[in-house]
Amino acid sequence: MLRFFNLFGQSTALNALDDALRAAGLHPVLVPDAVKLTVIRLHKEEARARGPDAAYGEAAQLIAYCMHGRETFIESNGTHAAEQAEHRLEVAIDAGDSLDAKLVLLALHSGLIAPEVAERFDIEAH
């Protein structure tokens, strides 16, 4: 697939998200560009209040957990970070319309969510 972003160079936001994904133990190449653009779009409002790096770091953690599952996520991020991601998943499922809920739905609908995560948290497309 032609990597559109490589034609003109990546934006600052995309670079920040890629860095956050790497920090969460997930290589950015594993996340489709469309998913990255959606994460950036979802975070525009959130980032204004808290700063873009914090917003992308939190998004990257949740996406990495959704994609890797508990055990692989723990290898890169530790048990405490896994517990935080699991708590965020539970809250997102209960809230239904939070930023985290949108990120989980994005992972689900883009086919990136690990089957074990979908099963463990009873996440399915309706």
Write the pLDDT tens digit of every residue in 26-70.
999 999 999 999 999 988 877 676 665 666 899 999 999 999 999
State the number of CA atoms in the 13 A half-sphere of 39 facing the CB. Answer: 32
| Degrees, nearest 5: CA angle 68-74-80 | 125
Residues 3, 107: Cα–Cα separation, whole Å: 20
Contact predicate 125/108, CB 8 Å? yes
- The DSSP call for residue 31 is S
Task: Give pLDDT tens digits for 67-87.
Answer: 999 999 999 999 999 999 999
CA atoms within 13 A on the CB side of 74: 7
Do 55 and 94 touch, CB atoms closer than 8 A?
no
Query: What number of other Cβ atoms are within 10 A of residue 67's Cβ?
Result: 22
Q: Residue range 85-101: average pLDDT? A: 92
d(CA 95, CA 91): 6
**What pTM did the predictor assign?**
0.83
Domain boundaries, the chain: 11-120
